[in-house]
Structure formats: C-alpha cells, structure tokens
Amino acid sequence: MSALTFTLKQQPAQRVDMSLLVCQQLQGLSITDIAALELQSGTRKLRVDELFTIDGSDAQHIIIKNSTDKLDFIGKELDGGTMSVEGDAGAYLGMSMKKGEIKVSGNAGLYAACEMKNGYLEVSGNVGDFLGAALAGNKMGMKGGIILVKGNAGQRVGDHLRRGLILIEGNAGDYCGSRMTAGTIAVMGNTGRYLGYAMRRGTLLLWNAPQLSASFNDCGAHTLAFLPILFNSFTALNSKFSDASVGFNRVQRYAGDMAEIGQGEVLVKL
C-alpha cells in the first residue's frame, strides 16, 4: 500500500484546520469518503478534494505535499502512524499528539507540539513561539515524547513543560523554558533573554553560555553521570545530536529559578 498523499492544489485564501486529516480519523475510509470530508477554512467549510488531490491508501502513513504555513493543526491528537509534511506547517502542528511520528521538511508556526503527550516530532526548518508549550491559560505543556528542531525556535520554548525532551539544533528565543515544571530542553545554538524564567524543575542543557537572570545561582562545575546516558539516547536521531562528538558530561550547573522553588537547573557545556 502506498502512503495516503494529499497534494495542495493552490495556496488557500484563508487558514485551514487540518485536524481531521490524521491517521486514526482516516483509517478505513475510502478515497471518496475522505474527499467528501469538510475542513474549516476561515468561516467556510471546504471539501478535502477542493483543496487537495488525493492519492494512495495507507492511512497509517500520510504525506502532505506542497504544504504551506496556512495549514494549521496538522497531526492534531495523532494517535499512531506517521505523517510527513513536505513544505511548511502552520500553527498548532502536532498539538496534543499521543503517539506516532510527524516530520516537517520546512518551517512550523506557533504552538508546534503544544501539549504534546508522546511520540516524535521533527521540524527541519524553524519553529515559531511556544514550541511544546501549554495553550494560553492552561497549566501543563508538553507531557512526553521528543521534539527535534533543526533550525531555530521562537520565544517561550517549553512554556509550562511537564515532561519530555525538546532538542533544538539552532537558537532559541527569549523566555526559553519559562515556567517549566520538569523535562529537558537542549539548545545547541544561543538562547535569548530571561532563560528559564519562573522554571520550577527541569533541565536546560546548553552548548553556549547564556545570559542568566539574577535569580539563577551558580552551583559550580560538575561531571554528571546521566549526561552520557542522555546523549546515548540520541544516537538513532537524524540530527547533529546523534553525533557522539557533540556529547559532554562536564558542565557548569546553575540552579533556579530562585524566584520560584529553585529546583530547576541550567547546565552549560564546559
């Protein structure tokens, strides 16, 4: 069976809610049934076949071709299977996904992987603000799984992060790891201002020295035994993180945010 492929015919006039086109929703449907599904776009509902040409039949492997940043909610609540996005993705990519895998060849918008529960999300380009964060007003962001961003990430990466792993090969914006309750964010590039703002627990793992707030206290230089295990877990990833030479176990440890309970940590490569 070939992958179920949606090829965007032309740039939509309004944003499109793609949340219906996930593996578990399309399982068992014929191409005719899928074509007749209606997607919300602005104030209108558009049939899938108005927007896309549809090929293939394997609903556990979905490909979206010619994708643009107007396609929101791709892979929302994905519960198994794989989704490949050729092009850019809009906001809320992989929101609340439970398991499975999403790969985007281009960039992704705001709130990518927000409140993600498990699974694997990979973005080859950049992502917008609130990667792996909680939705506005909610108290719990990403709760599990792995996010890999090969480009840069916007502000508030992992806001309210509860568990899971966010890997960023490029830079992260301001407020990276803000209000995080636990989990791990690793940034190979640079980080912005207010790193770990109000973080309670969790780990920010950095390759470059950050600009830290006064509410982070230096705990000294240490060799930490868990780091080699963490880096070993990256070996299967298609990423710079899988390169054994980028790993380290010697770090400068900062505890914070002391304005909160102060059980979080910023670990900076030495």
Partner 1 sequence: MIINGVTIDETFAEAFPMKATRAIITAQNAKWAMIAAQTMTGFATSVIACGCEAGIERVLSPEETPDGRAGVSVLIFAMGGKGLAKQLETRAGQCVLTAPTTALFAGIESDIKIPLGKNLRYFGDGFQIAKKIAGKRYWRIPVMDGEFLTEATTGQVNAVGGGNFLVLARSQPQALAACEAAIEAMRQMPNVIMPFPGGIVRSGSKVGSKYKTLGASTNDAFCPTLKGATKTDLSPNIESVMEIVIDGLTKADIDNAMRVGIQAVCDLGAENGIERISAGNYGGKLGPFHFHLQEIMA
Among residues 145 and 210, whose Cβ is nearest to partner 1? 145
Among residues 136 and 236, whose Cβ is nearest to partner 1? 236
Any contact of residue 201 with partner 1 (CB under 8 A)?
yes
Any contact of residue 229 with partner 1 (CB under 8 A)?
yes
Any contact of residue 265 with partner 1 (CB under 8 A)?
yes
Any contact of residue 257 with partner 1 (CB under 8 A)?
no
Any contact of residue 182 with partner 1 (CB under 8 A)?
yes
- How far apart CA 195 and CA 143 sit, in angstroms, is 20
Among residues 159 and 265, whose Cβ is nearest to partner 1? 265
Among residues 65, 222, 240, 269, which is the contact residue for partner 1, using CB under 8 A? Answer: 222
User: What is the footprint of partner 1 within residues 72-131 (CB under 8 A)?
Assistant: none
Please write down the HEC assignment for all residues of the chain. CCEEEEEECCCCCCCEECCCCCHHHHCCCCHHHHHHCEEEECCEEEEHHHHEEEECCEEEEEEEEEECCCEECCCCCCEEEEEEEEECCCCCCCCCCCEEEEEECCCECCCCCCCCCCCEEEECCCECCCCCCCCCCCCCCCCCCEEEECCCECCCCCCCCCCCEEEECCCECCCCCCCCCCCEEEECCCECCCCCCCCCCCEEEECCCCCCCCCCEEEEEEECCHHHHHHHCCCCCCCHHHCHHHCCCEEEEEEECCCCCCCEEEEEEC
Any contact of residue 203 with partner 1 (CB under 8 A)?
yes
Tokens of 114: 């927000």
Any contact of residue 230 with partner 1 (CB under 8 A)?
yes
Among residues 2, 217, 223, 238, which is the contact residue for partner 1, using CB under 8 A? Answer: 223
Among residues 35 and 230, whose Cβ is nearest to partner 1? 230
Q: Which stretch binds partner 1 (CB under 8 A): 35-43, 88-96, 185-193, 217-225?
A: 217-225
Q: Which stretch binds partner 1 (CB under 8 A): 15-23, 31-39, 80-88, 226-234?
A: 226-234
Any contact of residue 246 with partner 1 (CB under 8 A)?
no
Contact positions vs partner 1 (CB under 8 A)? 144, 163, 182, 184, 201, 203, 222-226, 228-230, 232-233, 263, 265
